[in-house]
Chains A and B, each alone.
Chain A
């Protein structure tokens, strides 16, 4: 669909590319709003997905394990687009669409109106989907910690939960943070799919403008600039986090330098950990 409309756009403008259109819309208010929605959507989806991933790790240790496996099977076995289609359309069936969509939360916050059911459905789809992948990352991270740590904690009278929180997870964080950071980088970009389902995030906002002006290429440049800005800034944050968590363990490994992160080069330590975690294949 976007390819077709881009093609039509090119015919309509007679293949003439206008840089002034690029600059004109780069800081357009609906683009700025879209960028904010993208960041918010990515953060809450990644956070919720990470919590789900941890819950799945814990559920796998209980008799409810088959439920956790079924969850992963479903969310890794169906396309994210289909999950979005399902969850953005589920609310009418639950008689929730009307109350949700009468919400003025977006306009109250100074954003353009969009149906809350679309936003919520997209959020749930990204969070659920991410949870299925984060479960693997959590497992690899937690299982990379020497079992002797849990045993030492237990022998001091700590419960499983306390030992997990105080002893194992802080150490696992060092292993989990690099792939988690990569997941968030993906998430920032993947949220663009929500644009197809009525969410006015960055891509949806840009697409609408480009479409109505028959200037899809110019807006594609604007979107590229914005996505690059967001992922690059995130690269800084990620390098900082990795350095910080390494420093606290004082085990001599260094965080990934910013330039290496941007160019996709990890340190040997983070790379092998990330590699171990990534087995199982990803989008």
Chain B
């Protein structure tokens, strides 16, 4: 087998038996999930089930107490010691893996002291070390792609929520990530602004980006996901192709959850 074939078979995300405690509370209770290259996985589940926490573990914004996570074959957050135990990795190594993972937050988290363009070029210049001219050229293309070329010089507080979130997506894409994580990217938006952000996410999926998406937008899950994963009480209770899962959920708890969501919609 050639090295290339080898690497194309390595899953983009491999989480194995991940356990996470906040103080005495175990919020992730043995989560295992594999995400293939180019796959779009949508995670759904009731509030407090651990979706956000799991997503944050994938780029080590949260520490885990047990289990292992690799991104494209590389351990994130921990390295394996000679004795086989896991030890928290150096900041440099963690940052190195994080730089390959884009994350989009519910509350956008744009840098308010920088314009849209400055938000997008910041990390490429200071983390990847590319020139300002090149970073700006790419940033303008990305802003164009999310439909905000005309807002390049606007500060975040002059942008609508939907526009801010699209800048945040452009900012993440500027790092040319292998993987994009979305944590309820549309939940903080007014209903009329949700569509413009979902459209950008859908376009990304069609271009073959590997994505793990936490959302309450069942329509998006149905249309875009390759696989839907249902979490409840810190565990994955069910997963499958969206059409099958929505039509015929196997677990009682999934049925209850989907029923609640339908009633809300």
Contact = CB atoms under 8 A, between A and B. Distances in A.
A166 B126 CA distance: 9
B199 interface: no
B109 A148 contact: yes
B175 interface: yes
Contacts of A154: 61, 95, 98
B112 interface: yes
B231 interface: no
Given A166-B122, A171-B113, A157 B127 contact: yes
A252 B155 CA distance: 11
B101 interface: yes
Nearest to B100: A157
B105 interface: yes
A158 B113 contact: no
A258 B126 CA distance: 37
A250 B157 contact: yes
Smallest CB-CB A-B distances: 5 pairs: A157-B99, A152-B109, A156-B123, A155-B103, A148-B109
A160 B109 contact: no
Nearest to A161: B91
Interface of A: 146, 148-149, 151-160, 162, 166-167, 170-171, 248-252
Given A151-B61, A250-B155, A158 B126 contact: yes
Contacts of B91: 159-160
B107 interface: yes
Interface of B: 59, 61, 91-92, 95-96, 98-103, 105, 107, 109-113, 122-123, 126-128, 155, 157-158, 168, 171-172, 175
A252 B168 CA distance: 22
B63 to A, nearest CB: 13
Contacts of A156: 98-99, 122-123, 127, 171-172, 175
A204 to B, nearest CB: 43
Given A250-B157, A252-B157, A157 B175 contact: yes
Contacts of B111: 149, 152-153, 167, 171
A146 B110 CA distance: 11
Contacts of B99: 156-157
B172 to A, nearest CB: 7
Given A148-B107, A158-B127, A162-B126, A251 B95 contact: no
A167 B111 CA distance: 7
A158 B98 CA distance: 8
A251 B157 contact: yes
Contacts of B157: 250-252
Contacts of A152: 103, 105, 109-111, 168
A157 B105 contact: no
B92 A148 contact: no
Among B100, B123, B128, B158, max chain A CB count under 10 A is at B123
A146 B156 CA distance: 15
Contacts of A171: 111-113
Given A152-B110, A250-B112, 9 more contacts: A151-B61, A154-B61, A155-B98, A155-B172, A157-B95, A157-B96, A160-B91, A171-B112, A248-B113
